[in-house]
Amino acid sequence: MFKFIHAADIHLDSPLRGLERYDGAPVDEIRQATRRALENLVELAIDQSAAFLLVAGDLYDGDWKEFRTGLFFVSQMARLREAGIPVYVIAGNHDAANKMTKKLPLPDNVLLLSPRKPETVRLEDWDVAIHGQSFAKGAVLDNLACAYPAGDSGRFNIGLLHTSATGREGHEPYAPCTLDDLRARHYDYWALGHVHTAEIVCQDPPVVFPGNLQGRNIRETGPKGCVVVTVDDDHRVSLEPQATDVFRWEVCRLTAGDVETGYDLLDRVRERLTGLAQAADGRSLAVRVELSGACPAHRALAAEPHRWREEIRAVAQDIGSGGVWVEKVSLATSPPGLERQSLDGPVGGLVRYVEDIRQSPEKVASLAGELTDLRDKLPPELKEGPDALDFDRPERIREMLEQVEQLLVHQLLSREGAP
Ligand SMILES: [Mn+2]
């Protein structure tokens, strides 16, 4: 029996984005988060007496801005050397061989596999063979897995691969491969990297994305960490995900339904944020609060959105031992059903017109086309990042239409002096 640890996408010293401009944001905690997560990984490997550690690409976020990034990695690997734990690393698209201009000698327990061709490392103590290949350049579009060698018979064979597999939303389609491509190698475990959301692609043989070690923005939500893999004497595998993150991102989605007043809604938000803070187990949290649904409270929220956003921030402030930060509040509630239907005249017509576009994929697509010129004029923060106005995604267009509808209805009704 032996254990090993499978990690990927450490993105050491990558900035965490989305809270920089927040008053009182825990800036140091955020800046150091990827380093603390790496320390947690190293401690875990030592605690578990791991036979070895695998890093399936994107150890670094890119070329080091300063040597300190590399030195920090070296210092952590030296701790593993003292514990007798070897480390096998492949480079991914972010730290591909042609991107890294600075170099430091690695401790002799660390091996970075070749970018030229698949390399095999045999560990006699454990009867293990590790097959892997680093990315030579950032954008590898070839199917690397197909060139991996057949497994050694009798050994526990591991494939170490940075890949988008058959494609995952939000991830560049690098070193693509299918599950059949992987199966054809007859390995006992595929240690994948690149996709930041943890996923067990297949149980038999295990094909695993551990996700990244530390969430870096609101798209990387929930616990982040690595997988502890236990292999018994018959080469049966059990998987145990372990969190290594020190700062967590969450989205709190709340469908308001029957909520009567803004204060009732605050109670619901408080309850949900308390639950998230408990699950975060002492870590600081950045939460995006998304409120939707047709509810009587809508009128009050739509009348004073700025005030209710601040009320929600205030609720977050007194929750949780590690601190809860509201990354953003999205107010997308709507008037209760009856009220909505009873809208007549031009306002009712407007609501039905917007609804008609939202329901029709063709109309959404044609609207997206009309918005192309606007895209070129957007400021950078609206072109990329978590809040980007991404006109290529139909669901984003529908979301914007809903917001536009609410804004217009509210403005029109309050000008008319209607109820
Ligand atoms: Mn990657």
User: Higher-confidence residue: 340 or 10?
Assistant: 10
Nearest Cα to Cα of residue 70 among 27, 10, 132 = 10
Cα-to-centroid distance, 163 and ligand 1 (Å): 7
Nearest Cα to Cα of residue 8 among 76, 94, 137 = 94
User: How far is Cα 157 from Cα 188, in angstroms, rounded to an integer?
Assistant: 5
0.85 exceeded by pTM: no
User: How far is Cα 403 from Cα 174, in angstroms, rounded to an integer?
Assistant: 36
User: How far is Cα 131 from Cα 148, in angstroms, rounded to an integer?
Assistant: 7
Convert the pLDDT of each residue in 368-419 to its tens digit: 888 888 888 888 777 776 567 778 888 888 878 877 777 777 677 665 444 4
373 contact partners, CB below 8 Å, separation of at least 6 = none
Strands 110-112 and 284-294: unpaired
Give the best-scoring range by mean pLDDT among 19-28, 186-195, 251-260, 336-345: 186-195
What the block records as the tokens of 255 is 């469908």
Domains belonging to the chain, first-starting first, are 2-243 (3.60.21.10), 246-337 (no CATH), 343-419 (no CATH)
User: How far is Cα 219 from Cα 217, in angstroms, rounded to an integer?
Assistant: 5
Beta strands in 232-366 (DSSP E): 237-243, 247-255, 284-294, 324-334
Query: What average pLDDT is seen over the chain?
Result: 90
Q: How many CB atoms lie within 10 A of CB 9?
A: 27
* Residue 103 pLDDT > 60: yes
pLDDT category of residue 29 using cuts at 50, 70 and 90: confident
Cα-to-centroid distance, 339 and ligand 1 (Å): 48
Cα-to-centroid distance, 404 and ligand 1 (Å): 36
Cα-to-centroid distance, 9 and ligand 1 (Å): 7
Convert the pLDDT of each residue in 156-184 to its tens digit: 999 999 999 999 988 999 999 999 999 99
142 contact partners, CB below 8 Å, separation of at least 6 = 175
* Residue 313 pLDDT > 80: yes
Please give the average per-residue pLDDT across 323-348, as a whole number.
80
Convert the pLDDT of each residue in 52-98 to its tens digit: 999 999 999 999 988 999 999 999 999 999 999 999 999 999 999 99
Convert the pLDDT of each residue in 186-245 to its tens digit: 999 999 999 999 999 999 999 999 999 999 999 999 999 999 999 999 999 999 999 999
- The whole-number pLDDT of residue 417 equals 44
* Residue 138 pLDDT > 80: yes
Cα-to-centroid distance, 108 and ligand 1 (Å): 25
For residues 187 and 158, the answer to whether their CB atoms sit within 8 Å is yes
Which amino acid makes up residue 356? D
What the block records as the tokens of 101 is 């201009």
Give the C-alpha distances (Å, rounded to integers) separating 367 from 63, 140, 397, 400, 405. 40, 35, 8, 11, 15
Cα-to-centroid distance, 169 and ligand 1 (Å): 13
Cα-to-centroid distance, 57 and ligand 1 (Å): 7
Cα-to-centroid distance, 94 and ligand 1 (Å): 6
Cα-to-centroid distance, 164 and ligand 1 (Å): 8
Q: Percent of the chain beyond pLDDT 70?
A: 95
